[in-house]
Chain A
Amino acid sequence: MASLLRLLFYGVFIRSMVLIVLGLHVRHRERLPRGGPAIIVANHNSHLDTMVLMSLFPLRLLPKLHPVAAMDYFMTSRLFSWFTLKVVGILPIKRTVARGDDNPLAPCNKALAEGQMLIVFPEGSRGEPEQLQSFKGGIARLAESNPAVPVVPVFLHGLGKALPKGETLLVPFFCDIIIGEPLAWRGERRSYMRQLDERMKQLAEEGSFPAWE
């Protein structure tokens, strides 16, 4: 039942919305992973980011795809939790960790070990629209724990214009999706983070986007 709902949600509702209301310009689509395990990392400006990234993959991969999302934000009520968990299909993690807690990334490691594909927004939250923030370190820990899993950076532009943080009115814009080469784990967290930030900046520069002020 829930998986059928999920198929309808992504396969019909989201796809037609992305196709008609938004419209995507995808560059380097061939760089997308064709199966799991894989980690997709992207900059984060809008709730639409997840929806658009999910729509890039063929529907047969849908059962494997899970956006990693903050438990404190997406699981506030029972009904909402049911929706985010079963229909959106998030993998919830804790944003703040108290002493003595388990590794907050353990659910991600487990999912990757099972061959799932995770969508991660390492900026932590949706920032100011159309501004690239530096990534938080959790993604390096995740890469370190799963050195064989490809980490594919994706730069998103335009979704923060269509539906920025704090807005409920969707305004149509064409959006740019620029997919990068997978980044292999190199053995050291700080240099890995630098490389990832660098890669995202390069992707952003592939398009020429006017500032949005």
Chain B
Amino acid sequence: MQFEVAPNVLIALGGLYIILIIASVGAALLRWRSPETERTELVQRIRSWWIIVTLFTAAMVMSRTVAVVFFAFVSFLALKEYFSIVPTRRADRRVLFWAYLAIPVQYYWVAQAWYGMFIIFIPVYVFLLLPLRMVTIGETKEFLRAAGTLHWGIMTLVFGISHIAYLLVLPEPKNPAAGGAGLVFFLMFLTQFNDVAQYLWGKKLGRHKIIPNVSPNKTWEGFLGGVATTTLLSILLATWLTPLRVEAAAAAGLLISVAGFIGDVTISALKRDIGLKDSGSMLPGHGGILDRIDSLTYTAPLFFHFVYYLYY
């Protein structure tokens, strides 16, 4: 089947660049008005966004296969970062290698659009196989902790993220406006937009801490402001990029903004447990790749199954 990116998606991608240009010009103006203020992080953050958006655009417009490989690579980077920051056992080195192998296999099912296998491969087969591999190595000390650590990483970073890629292979005619790429854009843009919106609302109005033990900077005002803005934007973008009608679009916006928040604080809890501020340094100004895709680990599978249940 020929895969062509719908014009609506191309326009949306163009819109991303307009946002980036505005952000860059804005940052330059800020620097010009008050050059003494330290803004390295903001500048680095915007620069990293340029790179992320460019890679994303290239992957989306080249071909569907390239786009699936792109998300497989995101899973790989995220899983590598996860395995590098969480405590792993020396005995499990080879088990980790098997865990990495789950990535190409899972994304192969995606590329083949084999839904039945895609949806059970990790929760059933990988879940059962990895402990077997651990048992053959024979180290029982901390076995349960190691097995749990492994599965949590694979479920969130491979299984969860692969749902974004599966949106690409859903039957095109069900979404005549923009196809699978439209759904991917909608999910990713709203998730990232929600992160920014919650941050900005929190900065402006934030008073009441929402979850101080995990993420002391998160406030009710930021959370609710984000939910409202994201839901509104969801309604505005939905007819253009998705098959969702107004009520469904509102529900999707609500789902993405609430789930995005939960994904964010879940990764925060993980980092707090390990004692890290950032999960890595791959993306200057953002931190690691987990810091960037934390919300997506929740929004991707939830949005996917919402749309899948309603329309596919």
Contact = CB atoms under 8 A, between A and B. Distances in A.
Asked if A pairs with B, the answer is yes
Interface centre among B76, B80, B96 (most CB of A within 10 A): B80
A20 to B, nearest CB: 9
A172 B281 CA distance: 16
Contact of A25 (B77, B87, B280): B280
B89 A213 contact: yes
Contact of B84 (A129, A169, A174): A174
B158 to A, nearest CB: 14
B83 interface: yes
A interface residue count range (under 10 / 10 to 19 / 20 to 34 / 35 or more): 10 to 19
Contacts of B77: 23
B84 A173 contact: yes
Given A23-B80, A158-B84, A212-B88, A171 B94 contact: yes
B309 interface: no
B18 interface: no
Contact of B97 (A25, A164, A169, A174): A169
Given A23-B282, A158-B84, A171 B89 contact: no
B240 interface: no
Interface in B72-115: 76-77, 80-81, 83-84, 86-90, 93-94, 96-97, 100
B100 A171 contact: yes
Contact of B83 (A164, A173, A211): A173
Interface string A168-201: 0101111100000000000000000000000000
B93 A167 contact: yes
A22 to B, nearest CB: 8
Contacts of B89: 212-213
A171 B93 contact: yes
Interface string B260-282: 00000000000000111000111
Given A25-B281, A169-B97, A174 B87 contact: no
Contacts of B81: 23, 174
Contacts of B282: 23
Interface in B34-76: 76
Contacts of B80: 23, 172-174
Contacts, number: 45
A47 to B, nearest CB: 15
Interface centre among B83, B93, B94, B281 (most CB of A within 10 A): B93
A164 B96 CA distance: 14
B281 to A, nearest CB: 5
Interface centre among A161, A174, A175, A213 (most CB of B within 10 A): A174
What's the dominant secondary structure at chain B's contact region? helix
A173 B92 CA distance: 13
Contacts of A129: 90
Nearest to B80: A172
A58 interface: no
Given A25-B280, A173-B80, A174-B81, A161 B275 contact: no
A46 B235 CA distance: 54
A171 B97 contact: yes
A29 to B, nearest CB: 12
Nearest to A26: B281
A131 to B, nearest CB: 11
Contact of A171 (B96, B274, B275, B281): B96
Contacts of A167: 93
Contacts of B274: 210
A172 B90 contact: no
Nearest to B281: A25
Given A23-B77, A174-B81, A212 B280 contact: no
B90 A213 contact: yes
Contacts of A25: 280-281
B275 A212 contact: no
A172 B87 CA distance: 15
A209 to B, nearest CB: 10
Contacts of A171: 93-94, 96-97, 100
A208 interface: yes
Interface in A23-57: 23, 25
Top 3 A-B pairs, shortest CB-CB distance: A174-B84, A210-B87, A25-B281
Given A23-B81, A171-B94, A173-B83, 5 more contacts: A167-B93, A173-B84, A211-B87, A212-B90, A213-B90
